[in-house]
């Protein structure tokens, strides 16, 4: 993979981490497990036990817990665990800087899947964040995400939030436009809550390469 293509992937994942990290995440018994591990050893265990999704071969992802399947479209690649772990670590270091905060943030986030077009930098991600409490409202979560994002990218433009039916579930939808390192990015997010976890499906379009969006959307279906 060319260095520029990988740089775009790292940058987009860094932007995602800004939106999700440090809002309401919490783990009373944090023990330093990495972000791709299902951390169930905590006092805030959900009533529906979280089970991370699985990949079949190099092209398919499925999660019964999320009621979600994904088939990688032609021209896209589905990252494996090591690749997701490396990119998440780089992203958190870029956003947070402090090693302690970085480790804590990684424990709160699980990258379920990342699919990207290496030629355009466009990508689709499914991310799960564990919250301190299942009583946190979607409005509070979105407000905290916006505030966190604006601290790093003060010129970002957010759309109004709405609702959207997607892959058999109802999601809260919003988008944000931002620029960094000479690149324009348009992120479209679908968010829903399962007990004390926020599920985020995020699509990132780089430099106006919009053709991939419909292709990525069509890759998803209900479990």
Q: Which residue has the tokens 């932007």?
A: 15
* Three-state SS at 206: strand
- DSSP letter string, 72-133: PPTT-EE--HHHHHHHHHHHHHHHH--HHHHHHHHHHEEEEEEEE-TTT--EEEEEEEEBS-
Q: Distance between CA 220 and CA 126 in Å, rounded? A: 11
pLDDT in tens, the chain (223 residues): 455 555 555 566 656 655 554 455 554 433 333 333 333 333 344 445 888 899 988 899 999 999 999 999 999 999 888 877 776 665 555 555 665 555 555 557 788 999 989 888 889 999 888 887 778 889 988 888 888 888 878 888 999 999 999 999 999 999 999 887 678 889 899 999 998 889 999 998 887 778 899 999 999 999 9
Token pair in block for residue 124:
């689709």
User: What domains are defined for the chain?
Assistant: 3-35+55-221 (3.40.1000.10)
């Amino acid at each position: 993979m060319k260095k520029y293509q990988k740089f775009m992937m790292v940058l987009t994942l860094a932007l995602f981490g800004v939106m999700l990290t440090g809002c309401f995440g919490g783990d009373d018994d944090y023990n330093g497990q990495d972000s791709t591990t299902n951390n169930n050893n905590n006092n805030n265990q959900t009533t529906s036990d979280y089970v991370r999704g699985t990949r079949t071969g190099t092209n398919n992802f499925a999660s019964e817990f999320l009621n979600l399947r994904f088939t990688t479209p032609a021209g896209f690649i589905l990252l494996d665990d090591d690749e997701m772990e490396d990119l998440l670590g780089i992203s958190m270091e870029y956003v947070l800087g402090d090693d302690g905060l970085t480790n804590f943030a990684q424990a709160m986030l699980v990258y379920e899947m990342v699919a990207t077009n290496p030629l355009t930098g466009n990508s689709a991600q499914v991310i799960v964040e564990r919250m301190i409490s299942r009583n946190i409202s979607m409005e509070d979560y979105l407000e905290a995400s916006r505030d966190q994002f604006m601290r790093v990218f003060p010129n970002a433009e957010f759309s109004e939030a709405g609702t959207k039916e997607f892959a058999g579930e109802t999601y809260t939808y919003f988008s944000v436009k931002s620029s960094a390192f000479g690149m324009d990015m348009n992120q479209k997010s679908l968010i829903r809550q399962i007990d004390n976890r926020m599920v985020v499906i995020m699509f990132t379009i780089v430099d106006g390469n919009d053709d991939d969006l419909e292709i990525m959307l069509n890759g998803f279906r209900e479990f």
